[in-house]
Amino acid sequence: MIRSAAVDLGASSGRVIGGSFDGSKLHMEEIHRFSNQPITVLGRMYWNAYRLYADMREGIIKSAKALGRIDSIGIDTWAVDYGLLDVYGMLLNLPRHYRDMRTDGMMDKVTERIDRKSLFDRTGIQFMSINTIFQLAAELEQNPAVLERAAHLLLMPDLLNYFLTGQIQSEFTNATTTQLLNAVDGDWDQTLLKQLGIPCRLFTRIAMPGTKLGAIADAELLQYPELRFTHVVHVASHDTASAVIAVPAKEQVHAYISSGTWSLFGTTVPEPIINEQTEAMNFTNEGGFNNYRLLKNIMGLWLIQQTQDSFEAQGAPSDILTLMQMAEKSPAFSFYFDTEDARLLHPGDIPARIREICEETGQAQPVSHGALVRGILENLAFKYRYTLEQLERILGNRVETIHIVGGGAQNELLCQFTANVTNRPVLAGPIEASAMGNLLMQLWALGELKGTAQLRELVLRSCVTKAYEPIDADVWEDQYGQYLQKMATIQQSN
């Protein structure tokens, strides 16, 4: 029996999941769950990297106590954010949160120096203000002294791996999300870095997922005999990359939505697709395990999470199940909005911002909390349909099934709306997709899986899914038409 621990950190919570592999089936159990609360100080938003490390360490200790000898550990987190180390290996500051306002306007500044087309051609990565490239442009402008002192830049999972092992390395899947990797050779793009004035010395060797990183060096953990021979492994350290490894797809042409704080809508392709069409549609080509994820970021359940916070602050019901029941009973299609409106990216009173958007676009504001929540879910579903059509145009093929994986697969209303609006069957699950993908890469690194076919079979055998068939597809078709019209008028007026 192989016993592993997957550390999977999301933007709102983290977990350590234990995995046991008996040669034919992967059994998973949640060992430790903790909240991940960013901290804002003087208007700057940070991730509490030390707290996250302490929580993760607690989870590893609990895993050792629950499972016995731990053969391997792997860490995955969200993408794009980084910590800077000085020459002595000290973390210079807590990593900034990608939703911090510091990147506002940075995309325009960078694309004045390097034109959009050449940036996309070089990297294959979509333009989003959160990308590391734009965060570094902000750092150069607002905090150049820190960059001068820095010797290494490590993305979140690489930073936590460093705390755990003392090793300084970058993992490929997450590195692609920086928009600083060359799509052809898969290495840091020195020309790009020089053009932007970002010091090349910050960037370290890139390791591939499914390889070993080293042993635990943390003295507190080494007190436990169960952890003395543990291999720390490079999994696909970008949580979305891990989740996509665990998509139980039988068909060649399929789409997935990795649904959590974000909804990542896309498919896998053998090589990056970098052409005028993907550039114009702002699709991305993120590195995966032996493939690329052609996808688009959609605002996702962030809108619901922030709405819950606002309701809670007002003393109104805010737990997710109550909100979903309220939404289900509320009138359908009461307003349309663009879920990707830039105002919705930053934390704050999202319901108020949506009401403001309704007013600006000549629509009545949602009448109740239930109607607001329902409207958010409906408009996310419309955006899914829109993205599906773009994806099918790029692929030149019809997508037969949509897989929804990750925590959002538990949102039955959203899964059903997705089936309705796309008029396709939706297969929801696994819920802990990132942790599963993480564990699978650990098994790969340990040599337990003989080839990708065996990996696929294990995914299919280990996943629990729930099927949704479209209901009222014609009503949704009609509403989608109205949504498109509304979006077109908004675009014209901008």
**CA 232/CA 293 separation, integer angstroms:** 25
Which of 126, 416 has the CB closer to ligand LFR?
126
Shortest distance in whole angstroms from residue 280 CB to ligand LFR: 20
**CA 338/CA 411 separation, integer angstroms:** 21
Which residue type sits at 100?
D
Which of 238, 486 has the CB closer to ligand LFR?
238
Shortest distance in whole angstroms from residue 196 CB to ligand LFR: 20
**CA 371/CA 333 separation, integer angstroms:** 9
Which residue out of 100, 158, 239, 338 is catalytically annotated? 239
Q: How far is CA 193 from CA 98, 238, 284, 436, 445, in A?
A: 20, 22, 20, 35, 31
Shortest distance in whole angstroms from residue 10 CB to ligand LFR: 6
Per DSSP (E only), the strands in 49-122 are 72-76, 82-85
Query: What's the CA angle centered on 119, arms 113 and 122, to 5 degrees?
Result: 135
Which of 246, 371 has the CB closer to ligand LFR?
246
Shortest distance in whole angstroms from residue 9 CB to ligand LFR: 9
The answer to whether residue 115 is catalytic is no
Q: How many CB atoms are located within 10 Å of the residue 211 CB?
A: 15
**CA 435/CA 406 separation, integer angstroms:** 9
Backbone dihedral angles phi then psi of residue 316, each to the nearest 5 degrees: -90, 160
Which of 304, 358 has the CB closer to ligand LFR?
304
Which of 433, 459 has the CB closer to ligand LFR?
433
Question: How far is C-alpha 371 from the geometric centre of its chain's CA atoms?
Answer: 27
Shortest distance in whole angstroms from residue 192 CB to ligand LFR: 20
Q: How many CB atoms are located within 10 Å of the residue 348 CB?
A: 14
- The encoded tokens of residue 353 equal 């911002």
Which of 21, 82 has the CB closer to ligand LFR?
82
Which residue type sits at 435?
A
**CA 102/CA 345 separation, integer angstroms:** 13
Give the gyration radius of the chain's Cα atoms: 22
Shortest distance in whole angstroms from residue 175 CB to ligand LFR: 13
E strand or H helix that includes residue 288: none
Binding positions for ligand LFR, rule: CB under 6 A: 10-11, 78-80, 98, 130, 238-240, 260-262, 264, 297
- Asked, as a colleague might, if the bond just before 430 is cis with ω within 30 of 0, I would say yes
Closest CA to 405 of 379, 374, 436: 436
**CA 306/CA 350 separation, integer angstroms:** 6
Shortest distance in whole angstroms from residue 443 CB to ligand LFR: 22
Which of 131, 418 has the CB closer to ligand LFR?
131
**Which positions are catalytic?**
239
